[in-house]
Chains A and B, each alone.
Chain A
Amino acid sequence: MAEIQNILTVLLIVTGSFFMLVGSIGVIRLPDFFTRSHATSKSDTLGIMLIILGLMVYEGFCLNSLKLLIIFVFVAIANPVGAHALARAALSFGIKPWFKKEDKKEE
Chain B
Amino acid sequence: MKRINPRNIVLNFILMMAFWLILSGYFDLFHISLGVLSVGSVLWFNSKLRRYVFFPDNVLVKTNFSVLRFFYFIFFLVWEIITSSMRIAYLIIHPQMPIKTGLIKFKTNLPNMVSKVILGNSISITPGTVTLHIEGDDFLVHSLTNETDEAHIDHSLAVEVAKLYKTEVERVVCDEVIIDSEEDL
Chain A residues with CB under 8 Å of chain B are 18-19, 22, 25-26, 29-30, 34-35, 37-39, 41-43, 45-46, 63, 66-67, 70, 76-77, 79-81, 83-84, 87-88, 91, 96-100, 103-104
Contact = CB atoms under 8 A, between A and B. Distances in A.
B53 interface: no
Interface stretch (B39-47, B87-95, B148-156): B87-95
Interface residues of B, number: 36
B131 interface: yes
Contacts of B126: 42
Given A45-B81, A70-B19, A98-B101, A83 B130 contact: yes
A25 B130 contact: no
B167 to A, nearest CB: 27
B110 to A, nearest CB: 17
Contact of A46 (B23, B97, B103, B127): B127
Nearest to B22: A66
Contacts of A81: 121, 124
Summarize B's interface: helix, strand, loop or mixed. mixed
A19 B45 CA distance: 41
Given A18-B89, A30-B97, A43-B85, 17 more contacts: A25-B93, A30-B92, A35-B99, A39-B92, A42-B85, A45-B81, A46-B82, A63-B22, A70-B22, A79-B124, A79-B125, A87-B130, A96-B182, A97-B185, A98-B101, A99-B102, A99-B181
